[in-house]
Structure 1
Amino acid sequence: MSIFAKENILLNTAVETKEEAIRLTGSILVEKGYVDADYIEKMLEREQLTSTYMGNFVAIPHGTEDSKCFVKQSGISFVQVPEGVDFGGGNIVKLLIGIAGKDNEHLDILSKIAIVCSEEENIDKLVAAESADEILAIFEDVN
């Protein structure tokens, strides 16, 4: 099973709240077998401790330090919210990248995500993407 697969990508999603957005991002990880359902609560707990909003319309919801026991294997979920969802403090999120990391496997993925999301042009492409293949291609272009 791939860490970041086409099946883990949701396009053109509309969510009302930050909590709904995080639950949706986590539910993909649960559905695809990366984590136990309890991981979603840990993602919400993490958000209360510190916002996972990264700037540039991107949030990276993930579990707390003590949530590792709920991770079966490393995985990434991707939710595109073209209309945006308010993450508080005027921060609008259009791309949610949910992460579940086993051991340190996810660190490599995180660095790729950071590189891709640091370019405003890439964010625009990801928000406008109309297929999962387009999104995967943007991340695959990063070495």
Structure 2
Amino acid sequence: MSILNESNILLNQDITSKEEAIKAAGKLLVQGGYVDEEYVPSMLEREKTVSTYMGNFIAIPHGTDESKTAIKKSGISIVQIPNGVDFSNDEEEKLVTVVFGIAGVGDEHLDILSQIAVYCSEIDNVVKLADANSESEIVQLLGGID
């Protein structure tokens, strides 16, 4: 089973806060059977201590180390936010148009984070994700991440 499926993707979301964006990404992980419900609050907790904003209009929220027991299997969720949402902590705006929720069994989250970061280091790739018109297009664009 792939860590990214079309059912793990929300397109064209109108989200106004980073908390709402993280909850949406977390809910997809729960619905996909990747994590238990208690993983989502740990994603919000991590954001309070360390921003998951990665630059290039992306954020990669994930749970705290203490939430590892809530992870059933590794997975990715994607929330596309065309108008962007601010992921800053009261400093300069950090606009995010693509949110990757991730859960990794053991240390797999590090590998997933790395693959997403490498792909999204090219701003053109992020633009393609932000402009994608279908879930299958996003899965195709991210085909190398598993």
| TM-score calculated relative to the size of structure 2 | 0.92
The answer for the alignment partner of 2:57 in structure 1 is: 57
The answer for the alignment partner of 2:143 in structure 1 is: 140
Deviation at 1:80, TM superposition (A): 0.3
The answer for the alignment partner of 2:2 in structure 1 is: 2
Distance (Å, rounded) in 1 between the aligned partners of 2:110 and 2:61: 14
Of residues 104-113 and 70-79 in structure 1, the stretch that sits farther from structure 2 once superposed is: 104-113
Deviation at 1:142, TM superposition (A): 6.9
One-letter identity of the residue aligned with 1:124: V
What is the SS of the residue equivalent to 2:54?
strand
Conserved 8 A contact 2:60-2:113? no
Distance (Å, rounded) in 1 between the aligned partners of 2:108 and 2:120: 19
Conserved 8 A contact 1:87-1:93? yes
What is the SS of the residue equivalent to 2:105?
coil
Conserved 8 A contact 1:73-1:100? yes
What is the SS of the residue equivalent to 2:116?
helix
Distance (Å, rounded) in 1 between the aligned partners of 2:138 and 2:4: 11
- Structure 2: unaligned runs, 5 residues or longer: none
Deviation at 1:141, TM superposition (A): 5.2
Deviation at 1:109, TM superposition (A): 2.6
The answer for the alignment partner of 1:103 in structure 2 is: 106
One-letter identity of the residue aligned with 1:100: A
Distance (Å, rounded) in 2 between the aligned partners of 1:108 and 1:47: 20
Percent identity, aligned pairs only, is: 54
**Aligned to 1:129, which of 123, 129, 132?**
132
The answer for the alignment partner of 2:23 in structure 1 is: 23
| TM-score calculated relative to the size of structure 1 | 0.94
One-letter identity of the residue aligned with 2:102: I
Q: Work out whether 1:93 is the aligned partner of 2:89.
A: no
Deviation at 1:115, TM superposition (A): 1.5
The answer for the alignment partner of 1:70 in structure 2 is: 70
Figure out how many residues of one structure are paired with residues of the other and give that number: 143
Root-mean-square deviation (CA, aligned residues, Å) is 1.5
Conserved 8 A contact 1:115-1:142? no
Distance (Å, rounded) in 2 between the aligned partners of 1:71 and 1:82: 29
Conserved 8 A contact 2:112-2:145? no
Conserved 8 A contact 1:52-1:61? yes
Distance (Å, rounded) in 1 between the aligned partners of 2:104 and 2:144: 22
